[in-house]
């Protein structure tokens, strides 16, 4: 919700006919969406190379046409149980600050049109660390879809350094 | 006529070729200088031809200044070739300058005709004139047309030129090419014609005959005649055959007597040559030493430039020179791609699923290969960069009156073009520095018993998976004191700070802006701009720089460049079916021990395995352990060991299987994986799969003791973050729920029969050492699964604030030493500090302090925890604050910071925590009255622990404030450095009891 102002979909684009599209996906039993323009492509899960000692959210690395792409488990990043690879598992390839990063999701859902009137604020009970990467909750056919801020989310997955502020704490 | 532009493409071809010539001239000239009077004709000829072809083209395009200058250099070179002039340094110097000017003119060819070059012309004329007879000098001043009136179209040609040609036994012709009919219509290019001419003789001059231009109204196709004044040994008939020209287009200007041609070859041309006059038919002169070009057409320009392929610096940023074989492989890959596409189309048409996927697979493979090959096109040998230094060193040394020789090594090491370009400036600066500051003047060197000739070595190599470029000199070395003094004088650091510095740290001050060691400012260096810029530039390239210096014996700068895009030969190994690449540079040898010999060759020291190898003992690491996997290899199988060199220390890596050595393209890992030191990157294998590249040094560090301290200290020198090892006790909660706690918090672990647990008053307890031990389960506070009765239960006993506490857990137990990062976000919840990946499994890090705080009857401390996150200390604690000592903790690792914070709080102190030295300093100045002790980590970003200590010690407000330095490394050297900085005590991190003890003592002393 902090980022509602920055949400491109809420801007003039929605009204001038070029309404933005959201690519939605399912992780566990929840639905999420990313601005479709940030998603480069959606691929099946290729042969994945595990990286021992990587942060927990990192599933491994893949070869995407000669590029090494880090694949994160969206489930872990979003606070679910680790995903099990299934038939419907897909990787959303997202470009963030010049780097391609893969997000493993359980299932690809619809591409939906962004409707600002259907957006709600992020509920208060979303954990603080995660709230920063929600842009809002979107209702489609009575189902809640959380619109994600890819940049924030990918940063948060950087092994627990991104979200935590440098501490100067005090105590008794 | 300068508006007359034949064809832009031609001009560019000419310019590119000229640049190519100029690029090689410098080296050749320097070699000529070295050889002195013992002339290497090949060499001189090569330079001569280069100057010559530049001149020829310039005449063609009417670039008069270029032509003039090239012409004069040619004269001088001709004299050198004829041994009339010795290439003394002064001569070569002028030639070098002239060729430099030529380069400039060629770079700005469109305005070159307005350039002022008389200085160069005069200098060149003076050289040639100085060694000429007066008769020749007269000839030099006369235009050729004074002797041969037909040559009035060639005002630049002097009688001297003609004389030289005739003396060489040549005929001089005026050859008229019609640019349209003889050249363009026949599918030739003017440059090709020039090349042909130059292979068989010498072009004295060329001009386009303006008279022959037609007008647009002419009915006939106009002819554009290019007149070439050409000296050759060929007769007119042969010449017309060669040029495919009608004989009337070839006019002879100066002939020689046929008799003379047949005459016996003789030594040098006679000094008393008859005056050159066109009508003269019987000059009694010796026939020439054959023109190199004529005698040796195969070594002509075409062959020459091919031989230079790949080593000449790229003429401009926009072009890259490629190895033909690489181009071929690109072509064949493109061919394969087309083939696969066709197959795919066919398969699609016939809907043959199998064939479709096979084609898709092929296309995938070819694409990867193609991509790799394209990457290769960016690789350039370092030698192209090195090539400019001989000249630089020579010129500088000359300016400064020093004798310096430059040695170049490893010029064939390849790095990415962009890195190479970025390296140029820093390297130039460092080489300049070495000549200017490093190498002493000859008399000083002699007095110091060194050879008067100083040596600078530029060396490129692959090392530990990096490209290392070394600039070493045998000069006076860096004086740490001098640099420090200069830094203090400039107010960059304080004298107090300097006092606490090691020599190495002082030397590193040279990278501060504004520091210079040269006591006087020369026009070379010493103006205090420099090394900081070098460092900034290298930082941009992701490079590191290290200094080694031995006062009196020289210094060594090591530039370490990232692997990014580098191609390295690597050994492929596999472990549990996964492949890894190990850069060949770190591989010493491969060892296979048959199963029957394992017992004999392998020893154990505690937990460490040691291999006996030809009287040496080599520590062994298992890749399986490093990757945190169970070792699948049975004891009954042969053992494959890769002997690795980790920056000085040697160890053996036990792997499942050894494979081939292959060339791999190193690709960087994404930012989520940047911090893991075990890997130097990743690469794509032939089958399209990704393999991690192992970093020998990183692995040694993970393994802890061995080579670790060394590697860690090396990395500290270059300002890298060291990762600290922590020992964790692994246990289970649910059967598939591994958890961990830092082992130093654990008092003991005991197996437990669940029936011994008593449930009294809503509290779990058990009998323990005659007391009632409160028990807690993880699920009491955290959302985790329940312990199952089927598991083997254990109780892990902690002590907190003097009271024991038991955590109920289950087996299996394990002890792991790890540097893995604690993820404090993903799985964070009350009782769980976060998670680490251990042995490939996500492991929950249990927060004992939160657990303890959650115990009934300890709510007080729970409140403390809740408050601690945000609220400043003073609001919270009321009057107790005045009496309770407050400890300031500076520690960058979240994990350690929290541990220390809790430890300190658990024994009743107040605490402030800061994430680095800078933050600590700010806290300290803000809460100066409250803080009674500082506990600081040594390695921290922004301001490290020692700097913090120095800063505190330098401030009178904090006199007597105890400072405890905490480090995971506590070698004697570290401790000495700590003491030097003003640390009161040095403690190994998280030795709990010792640490608390030391706080207590320090506070007692202080109060």
Structure confidence by residue, pLDDT tens digits, B884-903 = 788 898 887 776 777 778 77
Of B367, B629, B864, the CB nearest to A65: B367
- 8 Å CB contact of B867 and A49: no
Mean pLDDT of B138-160: 69
Burial of A21 per CB tally in 10 Å (0-12, 13-18, 19+): middle
Residues of B in contact with A159 (CB under 8 A): 672, 675, 821-823
DSSP bridge partners of B230? B173, B203
DSSP bridge partners of B284? none
Preceding amide of B812 cis, omega within 30 = yes
Indicate if the pLDDT at residue B328 is higher than 90.
no
- 8 Å CB contact of B673 and A70: yes
- 8 Å CB contact of B826 and A57: yes
Give the architecture-level CATH label for domain B872-1006.
3-Layer(aba) Sandwich (3.40)
- 8 Å CB contact of A53 and B820: yes
Closest among B606, B614, B625 to B589, alpha carbons compared: B614
| Inter-axis angle of helices B159-167 and B134-141, nearest 10 | 120
C-beta of residue B733 within 8 angstroms of C-beta of residue B783:
no
For residue B924, the chain A residue with the least C-alpha distance is A168
Class of CATH domain B381-561: alpha beta
Which tokens go with B11? 């001009």
CATH 2.40.50.180 fits B567-717, yes or no: yes
Q: What is the pLDDT of residues B635-676, one digit of tens each?
A: 677 888 999 877 557 889 999 888 888 878 778 788 888 778
Assign a CATH topology to domain A4-156.
Answer: OB fold (Dihydrolipoamide Acetyltransferase, E2P) (2.40.50)
Q: What is the pLDDT of residues B5-24, one digit of tens each?
A: 445 666 777 787 788 778 77
| Inter-axis angle of helices B41-60 and B190-200, nearest 10 | 140
Does residue B463 sit in helix, strand or coil?
A: strand
The secondary structure element, H or E, covering residue B50 is helix B41-60
Residues of A in contact with B872 (CB under 8 A): 170
Residues of B in contact with A171 (CB under 8 A): 864-865, 867-868, 873, 876, 901, 905, 910-911
- 8 Å CB contact of B825 and A156: yes
Residues of B in contact with A66 (CB under 8 A): 367-368, 371-372, 684
Is A77 touching B (CB cutoff 8 A)? Answer: yes
What pLDDT is recorded for position B276?
39
In this structure, how many other beta carbons lie within 10 angstroms of the beta carbon of residue B459?
19
C-beta of residue B478 within 8 angstroms of C-beta of residue B507:
yes
Of A79, A162, A166, the CB nearest to B919: A166
Residues of B in contact with A168 (CB under 8 A): 912-915, 919, 922-923
Closest among A160, A79, A162 to B898, alpha carbons compared: A160
Closest among B626, B20, B723, B706 to B306, alpha carbons compared: B20
Mean pLDDT of B288-300: 38
Give the architecture-level CATH label for domain B8-131.
Up-down Bundle (1.20)
CA distance B903 to chain A (A): 12
* Residue located via tokens 């040549």: B170
Interior angle at CA B468, CA B465 and CA B469, nearest 5: 165
| Best of B825, B847, B940 to mutate (most A CBs within 10 Å, chain A) | B825
For residue B917, the chain A residue with the least C-alpha distance is A168
Does residue B847 sit in helix, strand or coil?
A: coil
Burial of B453 per CB tally in 10 Å (0-12, 13-18, 19+): middle
Alpha helices by DSSP H, B310-352: 324-350
| Best of A101, A127, A172 to mutate (most B CBs within 10 Å, chain B) | A172
Comparing B797 with A124, the larger pLDDT belongs to B797
The secondary structure element, H or E, covering residue B539 is helix B531-540
Of B627, B671, B873, the CB nearest to A172: B873
For residue A82, the chain B residue with the least C-alpha distance is B842
- 8 Å CB contact of B627 and A52: yes
Listed by start position, the domains of chain A span: 4-156
Average pLDDT over all residues of chain B? 74
- 8 Å CB contact of A61 and B872: no
In this structure, how many other beta carbons lie within 10 angstroms of the beta carbon of residue B610?
17
Residues of B in contact with A55 (CB under 8 A): 672, 821, 823, 837
In this structure, how many other beta carbons lie within 10 angstroms of the beta carbon of residue B592?
10
Interacting residues of B759 by C-beta distance below 8 A, sequence separation 6+: none
Q: What is the pLDDT of residues B420-434, one digit of tens each?
A: 888 888 888 888 888
Per-residue pLDDT band for B130 (boundaries 50, 70, 90) equals low
What pLDDT is recorded for position A162?
34
Separation CA B745–CA B518 (nearest Å): 55
Is A53 touching B (CB cutoff 8 A)? Answer: yes
- 8 Å CB contact of A55 and B367: no
Give the architecture-level CATH label for domain B726-854.
Beta Barrel (2.40)
For residue A166, the chain B residue with the least C-alpha distance is B915
Interacting residues of B950 by C-beta distance below 8 A, sequence separation 6+: B496, B497, B500, B981, B982
Separation CA B77–CA B93 (nearest Å): 13
The side-by-side arrangement of strands in the sheet containing A107-113 is A107-113, A21-27, A30-35, A143-148, A134-140, A119-120
Mean pLDDT of B49-55: 81
- 8 Å CB contact of A66 and B368: yes
CA distance A137 to chain B (A): 21
| Best of A59, A94, A130, A159 to mutate (most B CBs within 10 Å, chain B) | A159
Per 3-state DSSP, what percentage of chain B is helix, strand, and coil (rounded to 5)?
A: 45, 25, 30
- 8 Å CB contact of A170 and B824: no
Is A171 touching B (CB cutoff 8 A)? Answer: yes
Does residue A1 sit in helix, strand or coil?
A: coil
What pLDDT is recorded for position B558?
86
Mean pLDDT of A118-143: 77
Interacting residues of B694 by C-beta distance below 8 A, sequence separation 6+: B580, B581, B582, B623, B653, B678, B679, B680
- 8 Å CB contact of B912 and A170: yes
- 8 Å CB contact of A61 and B690: yes
Q: What is the pLDDT of residues B159-186, one digit of tens each?
A: 777 777 776 667 788 888 777 777 777 7
Is A66 touching B (CB cutoff 8 A)? Answer: yes
Closest among B415, B361, B463 to B665, alpha carbons compared: B415
DSSP bridge partners of B645? B650
Comparing B541 with B333, the larger pLDDT belongs to B333
């Amino acid at each position: 919700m902090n980022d509602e102002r920055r949400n491109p979909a809420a801007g003039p684009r929605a009204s001038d006919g070029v309404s933005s599209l959201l690519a939605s996906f399912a992780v566990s039993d929840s639905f999420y969406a990313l601005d479709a323009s940030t998603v480069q492509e959606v691929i099946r899960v290729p042969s994945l190379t595990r990286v021992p000692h990587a942060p927990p959210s990192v599933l491994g690395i893949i070869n995407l046409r000669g590029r090494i792409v880090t694949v994160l488990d969206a489930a872990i990043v979003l606070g679910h149980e680790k995903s099990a690879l299934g038939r419907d598992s897909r990787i959303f390839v997202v470009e963030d600050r010049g780097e391609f990063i893969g997000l493993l999701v359980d299932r690809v859902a619809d591409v939906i049109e962004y409707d600002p009137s259907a957006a709600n604020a992020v509920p208060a009970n979303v954990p603080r660390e995660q709230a920063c990467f929600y842009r809002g909750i979107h209702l489609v056919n009575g189902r809640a879809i959380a619109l994600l801020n890819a940049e924030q989310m990918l940063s948060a997955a950087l092994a627990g350094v991104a979200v935590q502020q440098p501490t100067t704490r005090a105590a008794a | 006529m300068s508006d007359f532009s034949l064809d832009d493409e031609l001009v560019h071809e000419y310019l590119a070729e000229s640049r190519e010539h100029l690029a090689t001239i410098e080296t050749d000239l320097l070699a000529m200088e070295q050889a002195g009077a013992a002339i290497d004709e090949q060499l001189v000829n090569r330079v001569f031809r280069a100057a010559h072809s530049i001149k020829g083209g310039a005449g063609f395009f009417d670039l008069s200044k270029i032509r003039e200058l090239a012409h004069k250099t040619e004269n001088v070179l001709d004299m050198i070739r004829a041994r009339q002039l010795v290439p003394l340094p002064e001569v070569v110097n002028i030639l070098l300058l002239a060729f430099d000017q030529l380069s400039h003119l060629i770079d700005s060819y469109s305005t070159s005709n307005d350039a002022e070059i008389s200085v160069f012309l005069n200098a060149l004329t003076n050289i040639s004139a100085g060694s000429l007879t007066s008769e020749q000098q007269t000839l030099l001043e006369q235009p050729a047309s004074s002797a041969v009136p037909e040559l009035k179209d060639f005002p630049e040609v002097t009688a001297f030129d003609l004389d030289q040609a005739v003396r060489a036994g040549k005929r001089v012709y005026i050859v008229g090419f019609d640019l349209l009919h003889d050249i363009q219509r026949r599918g030739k290019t003017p440059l090709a014609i020039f090349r042909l001419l130059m292979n068989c003789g010498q072009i004295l001059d060329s001009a386009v005959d303006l008279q022959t231009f037609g007008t647009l109204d002419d009915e006939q196709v106009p002819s554009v005649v290019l007149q070439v004044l050409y000296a050759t040994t060929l007769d007119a008939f042969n010449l017309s055959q060669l040029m495919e020209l009608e004989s009337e287009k070839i006019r002879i200007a100066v002939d020689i007597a046929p008799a003379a041609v047949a005459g016996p070859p003789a030594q040098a041309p006679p000094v008393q040559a008859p005056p050159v006059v066109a009508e003269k038919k019987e000059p009694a002169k010796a026939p020439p030493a054959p023109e190199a070009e004529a005698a040796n057409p195969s070594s002509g320009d075409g062959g020459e430039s091919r031989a230079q392929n790949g080593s000449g610096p790229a003429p401009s940023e926009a072009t890259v020179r490629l190895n033909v074989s690489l181009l071929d492989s690109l072509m064949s890959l493109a061919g394969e791609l087309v083939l696969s596409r066709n197959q795919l189309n066919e398969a699609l048409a016939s809907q043959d699923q199998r064939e479709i996927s096979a084609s898709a697979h092929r296309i995938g493979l070819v694409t990867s290969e193609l991509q790799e090959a394209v990457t290769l096109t960016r690789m350039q040998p370092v030698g192209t960069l090195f090539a400019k230094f001989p000249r630089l060193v020579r010129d500088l040394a000359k300016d400064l009156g020093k004798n310096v020789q430059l040695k170049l090594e490893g010029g064939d090491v390849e790095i990415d073009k962009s890195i190479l370009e970025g390296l140029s400036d820093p390297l130039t600066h460092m080489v300049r520095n070495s000549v200017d500051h490093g190498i002493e003047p000859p008399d000083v060197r002699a007095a110091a018993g060194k050879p008067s000739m100083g040596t600078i070595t530029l060396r490129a190599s692959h090392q530990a998976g990096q490209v290392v470029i070394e600039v070493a000199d045998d000069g006076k070395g860096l004086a740490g004191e001098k640099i420090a003094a200069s830094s203090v004088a400039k107010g960059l650091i304080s004298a107090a700070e300097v006092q606490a510095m090691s020599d190495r740290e002082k030397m590193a001050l040279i990278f501060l802006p504004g520091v210079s060691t040269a006591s006087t400012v020369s026009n070379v260096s010493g103006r205090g701009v420099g090394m900081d810029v070098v460092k900034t530039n290298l930082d941009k390239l992701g490079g590191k720089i290290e200094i080694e210096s031995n006062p009196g014996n020289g210094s060594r700068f090591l530039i370490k460049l990232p692997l990014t895009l580098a191609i390295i030969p690597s050994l492929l190994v596999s472990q549990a079916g996964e492949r890894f690449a190990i850069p060949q540079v770190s591989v010493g040898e491969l060892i296979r021990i048959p199963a029957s010999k394992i017992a004999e060759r392998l020893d154990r020291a505690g937990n460490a395995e040691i291999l006996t190898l030809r009287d040496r003992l080599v520590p062994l690491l298992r890749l399986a352990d490093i990757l945190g996997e169970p070792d699948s290899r049975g004891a009954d199988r042969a053992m494959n060991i890769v002997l690795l060199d980790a920056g000085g220390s040697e160890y053996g890596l036990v792997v499942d299987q050894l494979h081939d050595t292959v060339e791999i393209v190193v690709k960087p890992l994404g930012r989520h994986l940047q911090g893991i030191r075990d890997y130097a990157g990743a690469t794509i294998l032939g089958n399209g799969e990704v393999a991690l590249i192992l970093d020998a040094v990183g692995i040694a560090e993970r393994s802890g003791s061995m080579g670790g301290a060394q590697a860690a200290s090396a990395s500290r020198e270059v300002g890298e973050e060291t990762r600290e090892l922590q020992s964790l006790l692994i246990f289970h909660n649910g059967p598939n729920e591994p958890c961990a706690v830092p082992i130093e918090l654990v008092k003991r672990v005991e197996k437990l029969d669940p029936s011994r647990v008593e449930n009294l008053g809503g509290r779990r307890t058990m009998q323990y050492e005659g007391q009632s031990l409160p028990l807690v389960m993880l699920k009491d506070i955290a959302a985790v699964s329940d312990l199952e009765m089927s598991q083997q239960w254990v109780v892990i006993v902690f002590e907190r604030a003097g009271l024991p506490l038991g955590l109920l857990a289950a087996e299996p137990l394990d002890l792991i030493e790890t540097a893995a990062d604690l993820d404090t976000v993903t799985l964070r919840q009350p009782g769980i500090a976060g998670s680490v990946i251990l042995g490939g499994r996500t492991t929950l890090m249990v927060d004992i302090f939160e657990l303890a705080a959650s115990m009934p009857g300890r709510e007080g401390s729970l409140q403390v925890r809740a408050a601690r996150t945000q609220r400043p200390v003073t609001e919270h604690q009321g009057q107790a604050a005045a009496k309770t000592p407050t400890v300031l903790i500076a520690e960058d690792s979240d994990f350690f910071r929290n541990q220390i914070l809790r430890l300190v709080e658990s024994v009743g102190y107040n605490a402030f925590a800061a994430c680095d030295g800078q933050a600590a300093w700010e806290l300290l100045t803000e809460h100066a009255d409250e803080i009674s002790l500082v506990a600081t980590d040594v390695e921290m970003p922004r301001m490290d622990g020692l700097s913090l200590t120095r800063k505190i010690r330098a401030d009178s407000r904090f006199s007597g404030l105890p400072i405890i330095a905490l480090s995971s490394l506590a070698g004697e050297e570290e401790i000495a450095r700590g003491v030097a900085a003003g640390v009161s005590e040095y403690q190994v991190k998280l030795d709990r009891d010792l640490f608390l003890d030391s706080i207590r003592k320090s506070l007692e002393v202080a109060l």
